[in-house]
Amino acid sequence: MKKKNMPVLVVCLLIFVVAVIGLATHVIIRYLPTKERMDLTEYYGQAAEGEAALILGTEKLEQRGLISGEQAYLPLTVVNSYLNQRYYWDSENSQILYSTPSETIAFSSSEEPGGEVWVKDGSVYLSIPFIQKFTDIDAYVYQDPARVAIQYNFSDVNMVNVLKDTYVRFRGGIKSPVLTPVKKGDSLIFMEELEDWTQVATKDGYIGYIDKKKISEPETVTEERDFQREEYTYITMDQPVNMSWHQVTTQEANAYFADAVQNVSGVNVISPTWFYLQDTSGNIASIASQDYVNQAHERGMEVWGLIDNFTAEVSTTETLSRTSSRRNIISQLMDAALGVGLDGINVDFEALTEDVGIHFLQFLRELSIECHKNGLVLSVDNPVPEDFTSHYDRAEQGRVVDYVIIMGYDEHYVGSEQAGSVASLPWVEKGVQDTLAEVPAERVINAIPFYTRLWKTEGGALTSEAIGMDQAQEVIATYQVETYWDNEAGQNYGAYENEGATYQIWLEDAQSIAEKVKLVPKYGLAGVAQWKLGFENSSIWQVISDNLQ
């Protein structure tokens, strides 16, 4: 009987063993972390011959770099967008220009690899060592697959430390393939914390996930660096700026300086409109006057000569995109400024299109160098920030010029679809706040209007005309307009009917100007400017002085 049961027992035992093995295998398969390595060609993407994947900080880019021998190159577009926007491609001379605070240096290009600037198939690439001349980066270059990892952020970075040897995986989960092993004590860039896993980046270009139990809590770290760059210094006034633009259109009009300022008080800077572009070669017209400057100095005013781009037939883009034209403008400006004893230059280039943005910034860098060599203040006029003017790049302006001026007017303008204030207080204040997000307050000047618009609606058509303060008060008196303080606009408002037409006006007067000037001490701004001399009421100067301090 026992012999008959033995095969049954053996079979049962075998079944049990197989079941245990199966269960153990299942447990192992399910719970044992995989050590399978991620296919890096799949991870970084297939690169063409000579190309390299690019990883900048915590981002894998679609753009590709180049590798020739042991030398790696990054596209100029990537360098400008992520690392350093001051590498400027001078297409006129096929070279890279780099402007420091004291000089502009030229670097020639080649259509062959090996140098600092490589032009391949019409695109510009910069070598890693060349980038490192002026930019604080760490670079990691690898083959198989070809890739370049760049670290460029070393301040206030969230980091974690590895607590025990482990892996960074492609996805969260122990079955996700391994990107790279990491050892106890390694530092990783913290990106995002999930339930059981944390997204991290290694300094050498892997972006993946790590078991959160095997890393420390994030800590904000600033790394000490040996990199030294030349810093900008600024020429600024030791008192609040109170500047008035003086529209001068002929050489003869300079003789009326004394009449224009006879009732002016408190103004310490005057900016006459003396220079403008004549052609795309960078020739400028000048009506600068030594006698005007002398008289202004006698009244305790600095003179910042204004240059504009209002000549309709001269393309600003074509002019500023040529290095020879920029240099011509700057050379002539310096000759004129030194010839009449100017204290500064005010750049009033308006209606700039997006394609001219990089050339305008390079113009300011180059102009800044020459202005500071000659002790001249450089200021630049900007519209109130809007999304469609981001190419003005006020942040970069603020790094290279002495004063960034907000033209805090033209909220509503000739051609607007509806009547409204030229400069309502909330709109002006938001313009200040948005500018301060990019430029230090102590070098921001807020410009206010001395004019308003008289709006006329007749037969469904809306028109307007710009009028000064005294003329606006004459309209109020003539038509016996009842005005009231509009809290929302921060201005006195009035409306009236005449000969079948409706008229509206948002007044610039002592009350509205006072509220705008108060923004200067409120936000610690450098000062105030006014457009334009001649539109004011003579009593407004005391209002400005009283509220500027």
Q: Whole-angstrom Cα distance, residue 400 to residue 362?
A: 10
pLDDT tens digits, one per residue of 227-249: 999 999 999 999 999 999 999 99
Q: Whole-angstrom Cα distance, residue 271 to residue 306?
A: 6
Residue 235, CA distances (Å) to 97, 375, 379, 443 in order: 25, 8, 10, 10
Q: Whole-angstrom Cα distance, residue 184 to residue 199?
A: 17
DSSP assignments along 102-153, one per residue: S-EEEEE-BSSTTSSEEEETTEEEEEHHHHHHHS--EEEEETTTTEEEEE--
pLDDT tens digits, one per residue of 126-138: 999 999 999 999 9
Please report the pLDDT score of residue 134 as a whole number: 98
Quick check: 114 and 40 in contact, CB under 8 A?
no
pLDDT tens digits, one per residue of 129-172: 999 999 999 999 999 899 999 999 999 999 999 999 999 999 99
Helix (H, G, I), strand (E, B) or coil at 73: strand
Structural tokens at position 190? 């913290």
- pLDDT, averaged across the chain: 95
Quick check: 507 and 514 in contact, CB under 8 A?
no
Please report the pLDDT score of residue 24 as a whole number: 45
Please report the pLDDT score of residue 47 as a whole number: 87
pLDDT tens digits, one per residue of 339-387: 999 999 999 999 999 999 999 999 999 999 999 999 999 999 999 999 9
User: Which residues of the chain register pLDDT less than 50?
Assistant: 22-28
Please report the pLDDT score of residue 549 as a whole number: 84
Q: Whole-angstrom Cα distance, residue 417 to residue 461?
A: 10
Q: Whole-angstrom Cα distance, residue 294 to residue 152?
A: 50
Structural tokens at position 51? 């190309």
